[in-house]
């Protein structure tokens, strides 16, 4: 969710530079810094940001600079009135010297510079620049996302390899547990006859309790769904969907670990959970 974008354009009589930065955040958290003349359009800017960024702390900064063509203007009517008034005063009071240009221009309201709040353009002018900056930001984020997808797929391959080892080990573990239970029963019986039917029933119950095939099947289906979401090119936000799938994977890993009763399987389950945590940290950086 990190990225940077900028754009320039004209708003009224000013040149405006808009910069947008994003850093990771679980939700959409905007921070907007506009020149005073544009402060009244903050709501429109926030909405434009929300439409193109759904997650992340987004900082938008706009700076404006008045165009050089906006020169100081002289009010011709006011200039003529001041000249006439000064000449009248000069003649009536017999003053020495004459009326010159510098004297007239120093009089109030003869010259005027554009005010800061004058001709600031429209909200649409500013939003057009904001949209371009957000588009540049989106491309930067997409490039980072593509690199991150590669990392996530590599970690999922490690998880899948561990699941394959667990699937291979599970039947062997059941046989070992069965033999261990038979040996324990015979030792406790101490030569007495053992009800083979009841023993077989207990072994079947044990096998059912230790069976992790359903958990592994669901886990693999979540991995397939995860890959499918990563391949989604529709442009829709995927972070929350991936987060949900990770929660389901962790649930299956915990259940598998609780049924394991086997050191090798437990070792792989711990490894899977570590990889899921690493993936979760990265998914939090995805929109």
Mean pLDDT value across residues 214-220: 91
Q: Which residues, 6+ apart, have CB-to-CB distance to 239 below 8 Å?
A: 1, 55, 283, 284, 286, 287
Q: Quick: pLDDT tens for 64-81.
A: 987 755 556 777 888 888
Comparing CA positions, the residue from 11, 14, 6 lying closest to residue 59 is 6
Determine the pLDDT at residue 183: 67
What would the pLDDT profile of 96-153 be if each residue is shown by its tens digit? 777 777 887 778 877 766 555 455 689 999 999 999 999 999 898 888 888 888 899 9
pLDDT in tens, 161-202: 999 999 888 877 777 666 676 666 666 666 566 566 666 666
Greater pLDDT, 222 or 177 = 222
Q: Residues 17, 62: contact at Cβ < 8 Å?
A: yes
Q: Do domains 3-69+122-140 and 141-283 have the same CATH topology?
A: no
Place of tokens 């992790």: 212
Closest among 172, 269, 159, 170 to 223, alpha carbons compared: 159
* Domain edges within the chain: 3-69+122-140, 73-112, 141-283
- Percentage, residues of the chain above pLDDT 70: 81
Say which CATH topology domain 141-283 has. Answer: Butyryl-CoA Dehydrogenase, subunit A; domain 3 (1.20.140)
pLDDT in the model for residue 235: 59
Mean pLDDT value of segment 34-47: 92
Region 220-229: what's the mean pLDDT?
92
What is the distance between the alpha carbons of residues 52 and 149, in angstroms, rounded to a whole number?
20
Alpha carbon distance 245, 279 (integer Å):
11
Paired residues of 26 in beta bridges: none
Distance, in Å, from the CA atom of 111 to the CA atom of 82, rounded to the nearest integer, reads 12
pLDDT at 70: 53
Average pLDDT over residues 257-266: 84
The pLDDT of residue 113 is: 62
The second-level CATH assignment, the architecture, of 3-69+122-140 is 2-Layer Sandwich (3.30)
- Give the mean pLDDT of the chain: 83
**Bridge-based pairing state of the strands 56-66 and 14-23:** antiparallel
């Amino acid at each position: 969710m990190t990225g940077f974008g900028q754009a320039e354009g004209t708003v009224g009589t000013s040149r405006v530079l808009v910069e947008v930065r994003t850093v990771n955040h679980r939700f959409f958290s905007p921070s907007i810094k506009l020149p005073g003349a544009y402060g009244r359009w903050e709501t429109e800017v926030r909405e434009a940001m929300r439409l193109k960024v759904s997650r992340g702390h987004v900082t938008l900064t706009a700076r404006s600079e008045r165009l050089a063509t906006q020169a100081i203007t002289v009010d011709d009517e006011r200039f003529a009135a001041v000249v006439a008034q000064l000449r009248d005063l000069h003649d009536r009071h017999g003053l020495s010297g004459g009326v010159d240009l510098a004297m007239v221009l120093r009089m109030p309201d003869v010259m005027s510079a554009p005010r800061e709040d004058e001709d600031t353009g429209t909200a649409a002018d500013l939003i057009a620049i904001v949209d371009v900056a957000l588009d540049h930001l989106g491309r930067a984020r997409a490039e980072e996302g593509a690199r991150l997808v590669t990392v996530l797929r590599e970690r999922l391959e490690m998880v899948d390899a561990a699941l394959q080892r667990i699937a291979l080990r599970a039947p062997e573990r059941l046989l070992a547990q069965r033999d261990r239970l038979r040996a324990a029963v015979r030792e406790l019986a101490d030569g007495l006859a053992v009800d083979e039917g009841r023993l077989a029933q207990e072994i079947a119950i044990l096998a059912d309790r230790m069976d992790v095939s359903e958990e592994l099947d669901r886990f693999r289906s979540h991995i397939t769904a995860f890959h499918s979401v990563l391949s989604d090119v529709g442009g829709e936000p995927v972070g929350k969907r991936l987060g949900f799938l990770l929660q389901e994977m962790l649930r299956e890993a915990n259940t598998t670990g609780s049924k394991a009763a086997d050191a090798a399987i437990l070792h792989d389950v711990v490894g899977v959970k570590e990889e899921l945590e690493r993936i979760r940290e990265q998914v939090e950086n995805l929109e």
